[in-house]
Chain A
């Protein structure tokens, strides 16, 4: 606020000073003669100048000279009395110079937003990064993750989180871009290909397009058991009219899913929908926000608790806690993983790197 008042003071003083200085100079300079005469005199001399350079003919010079001379004479006759600085109310001038900024300030206080600070994007981003992730909404989370990706351009994980946040903010296009970046860094990760397929699908309003089908295919190449990819590819076949083939694939998928898998009821409901009528299965695109990211990490932790023999999963869990800024859980997970893989120096290095990941 103090900066604002200083600026207001400096501007007002500068303007008042400018007005008063010019007024004082005019008062000291006294009157002001009619300035038309010099101009006509100049016009006369220009005519002579052109004639001297041979650029106008003698008769043209003569007639132009005569006309300009006539104008000079009539202007001299017409010139009124010079202005004089005689009667000028000095206090009025000073009052005008002072009142103008005061009026401006009054009007500003009436219609402006006094005291409202600047909100440069960089400052807001710093605040979001300092805040606990659970307090951010999806677009803020996406903004934070975008800055994390630009700081760690070689790490696919922030890109994956960014994609989730972008999806949650309703921007599947941005999510697609983030996933493509992640895949450029980790082209062998089936889960990323699945996410890309889903993002492309949401862009196409739920339809399994050739592009999203291609992404799901890539996921299956990396991991033949990739459930999401299998689900959507089969759904695409059903939508394209190959209902039986699609249903068969769904049945195979259902058989492969463990009994406790939370996706089983969703799949069964979809199968029932198809079986019950011509209505196509409606799969609402999942919306995932910051709480969902936390939930996903919890899901990973739960899975590792059940099936702990997954070194890559542990690395990812440690990194997730690190990125989310949850130091206590990061250290707990790190300690558990270190104990489990104490004899595997390669995994220990990966764990150390994951734990060192900067929080967003």
Chain B
């Protein structure tokens, strides 16, 4: 009965979302706190029953109930428990259910914890969040129901794409959806601001935690996806400018821009219209991502659902939702009060420049993603826009952004002295130039791009630390005072520094890996060797191994360093999943400090004398670890910032006036 309980709970969640929207909207019109409370209760209830529904679907996957069509299509009894559970969101229907779960979850958080919001703003936001929920829940119930049953259940399931049976990919969708759907709250708050005609500093502060949470989730989700591509696809790469990757990258770029423009609105009350525009844009790009990935309009590993009706429905949801949002914007935004003024050289201007560059970068990614689709629709010929396009358009924009980045936090609000800010960065500039020059002089093969990247990485990391050093007046005041100031730095500052330095760490990894990686592919018999970047890989043996739901050939490869010492014994596999007939490659990675020695077992062939030989590929990926560590630091920065507000409130309450300063006004509790 558990499956049917889940089916009922899903429908109850839809009805409660309708109640949430209706009651909250009516509450705003009649200025009734009681109706608002009904809307909030419905929002929390919608999440609660949808959690029951999701649990029921997981249960059906765990016990392999093949009377559920979705389980039959995406699971198999031989699949390990962990991936049976993951199968619950590995399918189209299940992932839309997870999307709805995140949507109602954020709605419940907004209803339950949005106490600082004004009643009217909150009521409109809860109503809007409910309407977003109705759209996706109705889609799930009527067009993509994960609880549809089969009257004749088959004996076995049809399994899940084995490429997706992977721990990183188990966690990738949940994080990504927290990010995608977290932006829905920002969208709802933007709609509320437009309805109320109020996008002031307080509003900007209210959207910050939601933006930060969504941004951090997206960062982790995208990084997990890149890491998965890196070690599962076995091509040695980690980012392919695949439309599916771009689909998650565009909301991230917009969320990044929004984080920065919201700071301007919060501190100076300026740019309210632009901040609202970005807030609407973030979730629009999230839905665009869902449409691109889920409609089957792209043909790639991710697009398992090839079903035009669903695509049309998703496109309709996207068009209606964001169309209404932007129409409201066009109507209401011109009437909004403009905030504080600022000079061309100021923190505000730096953040505006950041936004212009990020928006331009988003536009190039959007163009590169959609152009092939539009071209195919109009001219009927399929073209692909690959990395060269993005290297010519996206990379220069990012280089410019990153060069300007360290100066931003050093500029004062309103009117700044650019010369003074640059003067403070001389240490960073000197170190960056030294790093670039040393790279040019010492590293072979010579690469201008590589040297520029090294300089940029140092510039970003040292530049970010310079800002901290300035604020704690390092070397300018006695050590005890420096420590006191260090302890007093707000978490938001630490978060920003971590994120900016993390970007520098990522630049190191990305530039060094792409510039100096090397690759050797050879056909080897047992006992033969190949060498890559001075390392020697000896193919000792290839033996069959039997997994729980696959058969594999497992190679044993001894890897020796240039000095002849044994680095590791790598055991890459080539797996055949008989339930679906797919072959996958399990890469073996030997970490060498920050770098990776990466071995892939290719297909078996026959030598001239009939003895077996294998295609072995060895990659040397220098500093590859930093590619994933950098975004990890950035996400950590987001989480640290997220803890700031609350902690500063607590600190304000507990503040004990120091003898030197006048007594502090104790801040009001929220």
Chain A min CB distance to B565 (Å): 38
Contact A35:B201 (CB < 8 A) given known A53-B488, A85-B34, A143-B155: no
Q: Does A23 lie within 8 Å of B202, measured CB to CB? A: no
Give the distance in Å from the alpha carbon of A253 to the alpha carbon of B217 in the complex.
71
**Which residues of the partner chain B approach A116 to less than 8 Å between Cβ atoms?**
3-4, 67, 149
Interface residue A302 (Cβ < 8 Å from any Cβ of B): no
Q: Which of A98-106, A215-223, A243-251 contacts B (4 or more CB under 8 A)?
A: A98-106
**Which residues of the partner chain A approach B7 to less than 8 Å between Cβ atoms?**
108, 112-113
Chain A min CB distance to B341 (Å): 11
Give the distance in Å from the alpha carbon of A36 to the alpha carbon of B11 in the complex.
37
The DSSP consensus for interface residues of chain A is helix
Q: Does B201 lie within 8 Å of A40, measured CB to CB? A: yes
Contact A11:B12 (CB < 8 A) given known A96-B23, A118-B65: yes
**Which residues of the partner chain B approach A111 to less than 8 Å between Cβ atoms?**
11, 141-142, 145
Interface residue B63 (Cβ < 8 Å from any Cβ of A): yes
Chain A min CB distance to B238 (Å): 33
Give the distance in Å from the alpha carbon of A26 to the alpha carbon of B27 in the complex.
12
Chain A min CB distance to B159 (Å): 13
Q: Does B202 lie within 8 Å of A45, measured CB to CB? A: no
Q: Does A35 lie within 8 Å of B23, measured CB to CB? A: no
Chain A min CB distance to B66 (Å): 7
Q: Does B41 lie within 8 Å of A18, measured CB to CB? A: yes
Contact A55:B8 (CB < 8 A) given known A15-B48, A107-B15: no
| Interchain CB contact (< 8 A) of B1 among A3, A36, A75 | A3
Interface residue B40 (Cβ < 8 Å from any Cβ of A): yes
Q: Does A88 lie within 8 Å of B4, measured CB to CB? A: no
**Which residues of the partner chain B approach A49 to less than 8 Å between Cβ atoms?**
648, 651-652, 655, 664
**Which residues of the partner chain B approach A8 to less than 8 Å between Cβ atoms?**
5, 8
Q: Does A112 lie within 8 Å of B8, measured CB to CB? A: yes
Interface residue A119 (Cβ < 8 Å from any Cβ of B): yes
Q: Does A4 lie within 8 Å of B4, measured CB to CB? A: yes
Q: Does B471 lie within 8 Å of A55, measured CB to CB? A: yes
**Which residues of the partner chain B approach A177 to less than 8 Å between Cβ atoms?**
546, 551, 578
Q: Does B202 lie within 8 Å of A40, measured CB to CB? A: yes
Q: Mark A208-240, 1 if CB is under 8 A from B, else 0.
A: 001000000000000000000000000000000
Q: Which of B112-120, B180-188, B370-378, B555-563 contacts A (4 or more CB under 8 A)?
A: B112-120
Interface residue B325 (Cβ < 8 Å from any Cβ of A): no
**Which residues of the partner chain B approach A1 to less than 8 Å between Cβ atoms?**
1
**Which residues of the partner chain B approach A18 to less than 8 Å between Cβ atoms?**
41, 44-45, 48
Give the distance in Å from the alpha carbon of A177 to the alpha carbon of B481 in the complex.
72
Q: Which of A59-67, A189-197, A270-278 contacts B (4 or more CB under 8 A)?
A: A59-67
Interface residue A265 (Cβ < 8 Å from any Cβ of B): no
Give the distance in Å from the alpha carbon of A48 to the alpha carbon of B45 in the complex.
42
CB nearest neighbor in A for B153: A119
Contact A88:B119 (CB < 8 A) given known A1-B1, A18-B41, A49-B655: no
Interface residue A279 (Cβ < 8 Å from any Cβ of B): no
CB nearest neighbor in B for A40: B202
Q: Does A85 lie within 8 Å of B32, measured CB to CB? A: yes
Task: Kindly identify, within residues 121 to 142 of chain A, every residue whose CB is under 8 Å from any CB belonging to chain B.
Answer: 121-122, 124, 139-140, 142
Chain B min CB distance to A277 (Å): 32
Interface residue B158 (Cβ < 8 Å from any Cβ of A): no
Chain A min CB distance to B74 (Å): 14
Chain A min CB distance to B462 (Å): 21
Interface residue A120 (Cβ < 8 Å from any Cβ of B): yes
Interface residue B532 (Cβ < 8 Å from any Cβ of A): no
**Which residues of the partner chain A approach B156 to less than 8 Å between Cβ atoms?**
139, 143
Give the distance in Å from the alpha carbon of A47 to the alpha carbon of B159 in the complex.
58
**Which residues of the partner chain B approach A43 to less than 8 Å between Cβ atoms?**
201, 205
Q: Does A83 lie within 8 Å of B38, measured CB to CB? A: no
CB nearest neighbor in A for B32: A88
CB nearest neighbor in B for A109: B8
Give the distance in Å from the alpha carbon of A287 to the alpha carbon of B211 in the complex.
61
Q: Does B201 lie within 8 Å of A118, measured CB to CB? A: no
**Which residues of the partner chain A approach B19 to less than 8 Å between Cβ atoms?**
19, 96, 100
Chain B min CB distance to A313 (Å): 31
**Which residues of the partner chain A approach B397 to less than 8 Å between Cβ atoms?**
none
Q: Does A103 lie within 8 Å of B658, measured CB to CB? A: no
Interface residue A7 (Cβ < 8 Å from any Cβ of B): yes
Interface residue B667 (Cβ < 8 Å from any Cβ of A): yes
**Which residues of the partner chain B approach A107 to less than 8 Å between Cβ atoms?**
11, 14-15
Chain A min CB distance to B23 (Å): 7
**Which residues of the partner chain B approach A22 to less than 8 Å between Cβ atoms?**
37-38, 40-41
Q: Does A23 lie within 8 Å of B413, measured CB to CB? A: no
Give the distance in Å from the alpha carbon of A87 to the alpha carbon of B202 in the complex.
30
Task: Kindly identify, within residues 173 to 211 of chain B, every residue whose CB is under 8 Å from any CB belonging to chain A.
Answer: 198, 200-202, 205
Interface residue A41 (Cβ < 8 Å from any Cβ of B): yes
CB nearest neighbor in B for A143: B155
CB nearest neighbor in B for A103: B15
Q: Does B202 lie within 8 Å of A36, measured CB to CB? A: yes
**Which residues of the partner chain A approach B412 to less than 8 Å between Cβ atoms?**
60
Interface residue B473 (Cβ < 8 Å from any Cβ of A): yes
**Which residues of the partner chain A approach B649 to less than 8 Å between Cβ atoms?**
42
Q: Does A35 lie within 8 Å of B115, measured CB to CB? A: yes
Chain A min CB distance to B580 (Å): 11
Chain B min CB distance to A221 (Å): 20
Q: Mark B6-32, 1 if CB is under 8 A from A, else 0.
A: 011101101110010001000000111
CB nearest neighbor in A for B8: A108
Interface residue B64 (Cβ < 8 Å from any Cβ of A): yes
| Interchain CB contact (< 8 A) of B38 among A11, A23, A45 | A23
Interface residue A29 (Cβ < 8 Å from any Cβ of B): yes
**Which residues of the partner chain B approach A55 to less than 8 Å between Cβ atoms?**
471, 485, 488-490
Q: Mark A181-212, 1 if CB is under 8 A from B, else 0.
A: 00000000000000000000000000000100
Chain B min CB distance to A275 (Å): 32
Q: Does B578 lie within 8 Å of A173, measured CB to CB? A: yes
> Residue among B9, B38, B485 with the most chain A CB within 10 A?
B38
Q: Does A19 lie within 8 Å of B45, measured CB to CB? A: yes
Q: Does B664 lie within 8 Å of A100, measured CB to CB? A: no
> Residue among B19, B45, B488, B669 with the most chain A CB within 10 A?
B45
Interface residue A38 (Cβ < 8 Å from any Cβ of B): yes
Q: Mark A328-340, 1 if CB is under 8 A from B, else 0.
A: 0000000000000
Interface residue A21 (Cβ < 8 Å from any Cβ of B): yes
Give the distance in Å from the alpha carbon of A39 to the alpha carbon of B670 in the complex.
7
Contact A118:B63 (CB < 8 A) given known A22-B40, A143-B156: yes
Give the distance in Å from the alpha carbon of A64 to the alpha carbon of B348 in the complex.
14
Q: Does B11 lie within 8 Å of A71, measured CB to CB? A: no
Q: Does B3 lie within 8 Å of A118, measured CB to CB? A: yes
Q: Does B670 lie within 8 Å of A124, measured CB to CB? A: no
Interface residue A358 (Cβ < 8 Å from any Cβ of B): no
Chain B min CB distance to A44 (Å): 7
Task: Kindly identify, within residues 619 to 652 of chain B, every residue whose CB is under 8 Å from any CB belonging to chain A.
Answer: 648-649, 651-652
Task: Kindly identify, within residues 14 to 31 of chain A, every residue whose CB is under 8 Å from any CB belonging to chain B.
Answer: 14-15, 18-23, 25-27, 29-31
Interface residue B268 (Cβ < 8 Å from any Cβ of A): yes
Chain A min CB distance to B668 (Å): 4
Interface residue B362 (Cβ < 8 Å from any Cβ of A): no
Q: Does B1 lie within 8 Å of A15, measured CB to CB? A: no
Contact A53:B32 (CB < 8 A) given known A96-B19, A105-B8, A143-B156: no
Interface residue B52 (Cβ < 8 Å from any Cβ of A): yes
**A/B interface sample: 24 pairs, CB < 8 A:** A18-B45, A27-B34, A38-B668, A38-B669, A39-B202, A41-B667, A42-B652, A45-B664, A45-B666, A49-B655, A53-B485, A54-B473, A55-B485, A80-B120, A84-B33, A88-B34, A100-B42, A101-B12, A111-B11, A116-B149, A118-B65, A121-B63, A121-B64, A143-B156
**Known A19-B37, A64-B413, A173-B578; 19 more pairs at CB < 8 Å:** A3-B1, A18-B48, A38-B668, A39-B670, A42-B649, A43-B205, A45-B652, A49-B648, A67-B268, A85-B33, A100-B15, A101-B15, A104-B11, A104-B15, A118-B63, A121-B64, A121-B77, A124-B153, A139-B155
Give 10 closest A-B pairs by Cβ, nearest first. Answer: A26-B37, A19-B41, A53-B488, A120-B63, A121-B64, A15-B45, A139-B155, A104-B12, A45-B667, A22-B41
